[in-house]
Homo-oligomer: A and B are copies of this chain.
Amino acid sequence: MANTEFGYVRNFEQRDALPPSNWIVVRIDGRGFTKLCKKYDFQKPNDKRALDLMNASATEVVKQFVDVVLAYGQSDEYSFILHENAGMFERRASKLATSISTAFTAEYCMQWPTFFPDQPLERPFPTFDGRCVAYPKRRILRDYLSWRQADCHINNLYNTTFWNMVLKGGMSTTAAEHALKGTVSSDKNEILFSQFGINYNNEPLIYRKGTVIFRAYDTESEVNGGSTTGKMPDPTSKSQMEKAKKRKQKARIAVEHVDIIGPSFWDAHPYILGTNTAKGSTE
């Protein structure tokens, strides 16, 4: 950029690098999706096409940003998890948030015709806001992901019950809302089963659990190859980082609808949140 008499204005730019050794979550949320759902007549309580579009878009984002170790999505939101040692964009919050949210938006708009072939997009086009949050411990990052998946469950159970009452039960939305006020999970399960013959636990996993996307390493050698090399990215071994990047680019992208609150998923894929550090491996 030109170094003129006006160049001093650069001094007003604030540094916004996220602190090292923190897991970074970039969460994006659909902007004004309530209107969008109505406009394109999304099915209630879940529109499979819309979820598939979210997941297809997120898959491309995970492919493109190799520092993303896992993504979790539900409804019109997606959380992209960057490794605590990730060095992408020098961990600058605004670069991370805008790069990931614009990449997601571009995919969503461009892939729309594949999932909604009969409904061309009109203005305002779908967009997503985004933000970064830093989590200092693996355990707390796990709690973050549990928080989102618990949210998915609670909302889906409510919505499934609500829309069955309205669409099959013939209730007004106001009446259904009123009827559900104060109910707990078991109440909703009971309503679904007794009134509509629905066993909630048989509902599709994609609705109940949301979607988990990650690089899957199917053999031991892939995992070891993919290891990071220490508590701080080693700037001297650029060749090693290049190798790691290529391996990540070639990795299979897994898209699953599984529980990530309990330990099973993490025990089966220890490399996702793994850190090969010389010391401090217990932290």
Show the binding face of A for B, using Cβ within 8 Å.
1-2, 4, 6-9, 11-16, 19-22, 28, 31, 60, 64, 93-95, 97-99, 101-107, 109-110, 121, 123-140, 143-144, 146-147, 150-151, 154-155, 231-232, 279-280, 282-283
Contacts and interface: CB of A to CB of B under 8 A. Distances in A.
A189 to B, nearest CB: 17
* 5 nearest CB pairs, A to B: A136-B136, A139-B280, A6-B147, A106-B125, A2-B151
A69 to B, nearest CB: 17
Nearest to A22: B136
Nearest to A154: B2
A147 B102 contact: no
Contact of A21 (B125, B133, B137, B282): B137
B95 A19 contact: no
A106 B136 CA distance: 34
A70 to B, nearest CB: 16
Given A98-B97, A109-B109, A128-B102, A147 B2 contact: yes
Contacts of A103: 124-125, 127
A138 B282 CA distance: 10
Contacts of A105: 102, 105-106, 127
Max chain B Cβ within 10 angstroms of own Cβ: one of A2, A129, A131: A129
The quantity of this chain's copies bound in the complex is 4
A257 B28 CA distance: 35
Contact of A150 (B2, B123, B143, B283): B2
Contacts of A106: 105-106, 109, 125-127
Contact of A133 (B13, B128, B138): B13
12 contacts: A1-B151, A4-B146, A12-B134, A19-B134, A93-B94, A94-B94, A94-B132, A102-B105, A105-B127, A106-B126, A140-B280, A282-B282
A123 B56 CA distance: 13
A163 B138 CA distance: 49
A98 B101 contact: yes
A72 to B, nearest CB: 13
A101 B8 CA distance: 25
B150 A4 contact: yes
A22 B136 CA distance: 7
Contacts of A126: 106
Nearest to A92: B131
Given A106-B127, A131-B95, A4 B147 contact: yes
B109 A279 contact: no
Contact of A143 (B9, B125, B127, B134): B9
Q: Which of A9, A99, A154, A282 has the most CB of B within 10 A?
A: A9
